[in-house]
Amino acid sequence: LQFTEEKLGQAEKTELDAHFENLLARADCTKNWTEKILRQTEVLLQPNPSARVEEFLYEKLDRKVPSRVTNGELLAQYMTEAASDFGPGTPYGKTLIKVGETQRRLGAAEREFIRSASISFLTPLRNFLEGDWRTISKERRILQNRRLDLDACKARLKKAKAAEAKAAVTP
């Protein structure tokens, strides 16, 4: 009732401290940017949407995500196979072997980067959203309910004082 009356402009609303309102606004901003950064980092690390969904399901089921071959590693594999077909003694074969080995190392570095970024960067962001933000939201709801209770009690007190004053004036 108090909430509805406040929204309709029929009841007074106790304002929170300006510093506290600023903290709430900063918390909302932090949450929004954290979600955006988390999503975009996931897209950067795994551009394939179906693979991201699969990884998400493995995570939620507490299963180990199967290791994927990176594009660099796959290219290295193709180059090595092509070199063996052309012959490792031919100039083209030697070149394919060299470039394939370099691509393999690049693919391994990419895999390590993805693993490291997931552990060192994405995990703390998820922990904030799933832990700290839930706590902030819960405490915010509790505060809002308590404020509404306070305002409702103030309104009843005001009505009671008005009725008492009216009764004192009327003989």
110: Cβ contacts below 8 Å, ≥ 6 apart: 70, 72
CB 68 within 8 A of CB 54: no
DSSP state for residue 129 in the 8-state scheme: I
Token look-up 């552990």 returns 119
CATH code of the domain containing 25:
1.20.1270.60
The answer to whether residue 122 scores a pLDDT higher than 90 is yes
Is 115 a domain residue? yes
pLDDT at 171: 63
- pLDDT value at residue 6: 64
Residue 104's CB: how many other CB atoms inside 10 A?
Answer: 19
Residue 132 has pLDDT above 70, yes or no: yes
- 52 pLDDT more than 70: yes
Residue 156 has pLDDT above 70, yes or no: yes
What's the CA gap between 94 and 90, in Å, rounded? 6
> Comparing 17-21, 27-31, 61-65, which segment has the lowest mean pLDDT?
61-65
**79 exposed, middle or buried (CB, 10 Å; 0-12, 13-18, 19+)?**
buried
pLDDT of 45 over the 80 cut: yes
Q: Is the pTM for the entire model greater than 0.85?
A: no
Q: How far is CA 70 from the centre of its chain?
A: 25
Residue 117 pLDDT: 93
Work out how many domains the chain is built from and give that number: 1
Q: Residue 74 above 70 pLDDT?
A: yes
Residue 1 lies in a domain: no
Q: What is the amino acid identity at position 80?
A: T
Q: To 5 degrees, how large is the angle CA 104–CA 109–CA 114?
A: 125
Indicate whether 30 belongs to any domain: yes
Average pLDDT on 144-165 reads: 87
Q: Is residue 124 part of a domain?
A: yes
When pLDDT is averaged across residues 144-150 and rounded to a whole number, the result is 88
Which residues form the domain of 26?
17-140
In a domain, 169, yes or no: no
